[in-house]
């Protein structure tokens, strides 16, 4: 029997409390199912991978296409899914609530816009606005801040 959204979210919280874990990026439902069979405990969407799976470049999917992609990933597997979002600003945070409604367990905001890292004040405003939007939804969704290092390594930091 498939897990409900609340159970997936509780699992995602527990994973973060238990230490580090590997979270791969499926491009589509087929790769999500395959990664689950391989034993991963959570998944994270990838904006570039989802676009490439449709023959497009990163950043070329509409908001509705991104939300549908998240919905498909969440339905395809019993694993919690973390949503990858790039263009979150205090003025467009309603998209955060729409993403929460797809069934995601976590939500991450990139700190790089394709050209440069956001300055700390702007990055902070974006994270605070997203946290407020998640809280207003009443859902038990984690907010994950991504930090892109100069070496292109990604550090995942859970914002509680």
Q: What is the pLDDT of residue 148?
A: 60
Q: What CATH architecture is 5-159? A: Alpha-Beta Barrel (3.20)
Crossing angle (nearest 10°) for helices 29-37 and 63-76: 30
Q: What is the pLDDT of residue 152?
A: 42
Would you state the structure tokens that stand for residue 75, as one six-digit string? 């339905």
Query: For the segment 62-89, what is each residue's pLDDT rounded down to a tens digit?
Result: 889 999 999 999 999 999 999 987 777 7
CB 28 within 8 A of CB 75: no
Residue 10 pLDDT greater than 50, yes or no = yes
Q: Name which residue leads in pLDDT, 24 or 123.
A: 24
Contacts within 8 Å (CB) and 24+ apart, 114-120: 114/59, 114/86, 117/148
Query: For the segment 106-134, what is each residue's pLDDT rounded down to a tens digit?
Result: 998 877 777 778 888 888 888 888 899 99
3-state secondary structure (DSSP) of residue 158:
strand
Would you state the structure tokens that stand for residue 145, as one six-digit string? 């801040």
CB 155 within 8 A of CB 149: yes
Burial class (CB in 10 A: 0-12, 13-18, 19+), 61: middle
């Amino acid at each position: 029997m498939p897990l409900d959204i609340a159970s997936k979210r509780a699992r995602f919280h527990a994973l973060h409390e238990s230490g580090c874990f590997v979270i791969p990026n499926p491009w589509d439902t087929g790769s999500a199912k395959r990664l689950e069979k391989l034993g991963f405990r959570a998944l994270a969407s990838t904006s570039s991978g989802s676009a490439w799976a449709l023959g497009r470049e990163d950043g070329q999917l509409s908001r509705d296409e991104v939300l549908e992609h998240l919905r498909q990933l969440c339905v395809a597997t019993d694993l919690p899914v973390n949503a990858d979002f790039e263009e979150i600003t205090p003025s467009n945070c309603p998209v955060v609530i729409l993403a929460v409604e797809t069934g995601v367990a976590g939500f991450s905001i990139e700190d790089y816009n394709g050209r440069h890292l956001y300055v700390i004040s702007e990055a902070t405003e974006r994270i605070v606005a997203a946290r407020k939007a998640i809280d207003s939804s009443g859902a038990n969704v984690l907010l994950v801040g991504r930090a892109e290092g100069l070496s292109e390594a990604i550090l995942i930091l859970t914002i509680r």
